[in-house]
Amino acid sequence: MFTLIWNTVFYAPLYNALVFLISIAPWGDIGFAVILLTIIVRLILFPLGKKAVESQIRMNQIQPELQKIKEDYPTKEEQAKKTLELYKKYKLNPFSGCLLLLIQLPIIIALYTVFLKGFSFDTSILYSFVNVPVVINAKFLGLIDMHTHSIVLALLAGVTQYFQAVIAERRSVPHSGTKSFQNDLMKSMNTQMKYVFPFIVALISYNVSAAVALYWVTTNLFTIGQELWIQKKLKKQ
């Protein structure tokens, strides 16, 4: 049942979209089709991503008030009550980011799986109105073979992931100098996201096909643009 739902709702639509885009891409360039499909999916998910980022920024903005509640109210019950009142005051749902991520995750995984499986074109899952492309060019811009590894795209994936982490870090409100487990944990997580995760992304991108690496570069660039736009908009407000 799960496999049927997965293929029908997520995998098959994205697979057919990719095949269609290859058929209309200039020179049948698979790389262009990968970029187009990634952008289309990210545009569809944009409202969800925008809401998640805005929620995170506003949660960071009320951190001083949350800290004051911890200092002013000794018991957990009082802290919980005042924290809920604070969320209600600013109309915030602390779990909205997690819920939105859960909605986006299956789509992103399906998109990743489409690129990961290559371009052998399984006609058994093609819709009746989608035909196998007549012209197929596996070399993106005539330079990078989408079927093989690409050190260039792998490095770009790692670099763009780093800059994404740097820009996302601007949302955070600097914690006080008070030493605590929470502050140490947040600092450790930020460091890993900024320095360790980009290396992991680059390593994975090199060990899979260039199509997956190109997807990662495209989605990172889109996310960077989304972050900058939302942060600029909220700053004006």
145-166: buried (b, 16+ CB within 10 Å) or exposed (e) per residue? ebeeebeebbbbbbebbbbbbe
Note if the pTM is more than 0.85.
Answer: no
Share of the chain above pLDDT 90, in %: 24
Structural domain boundaries enclosing 185: 2-236
Per-residue model confidence (pLDDT) at position 185: 54
Per-residue model confidence (pLDDT) at position 218: 95
In the chain, the number of structural domains is: 1
Q: Which residue has the tokens 């209309």?
A: 24
Return the structure tokens found at 128: 């009746």
Taking only the tens place, the pLDDT of each residue in 22-61 is 999 888 899 999 999 999 989 988 888 887 777 777 777 7
The candidate with the shortest Cα–Cα distance to 31, out of 182, 207, 152, is: 152
Lowest-confidence region among 4-13, 77-86, 149-158, 178-187: 178-187
Taking only the tens place, the pLDDT of each residue in 68-113 is 888 888 888 888 888 888 888 887 777 766 766 677 778 888 888 8
The candidate with the shortest Cα–Cα distance to 164, out of 109, 89, 219, 87, is: 219
Structure-model confidence comparison of residues 45 and 221, the more confident one = 221
Residue 144: in which H helix or E strand, if any? strand 144-145
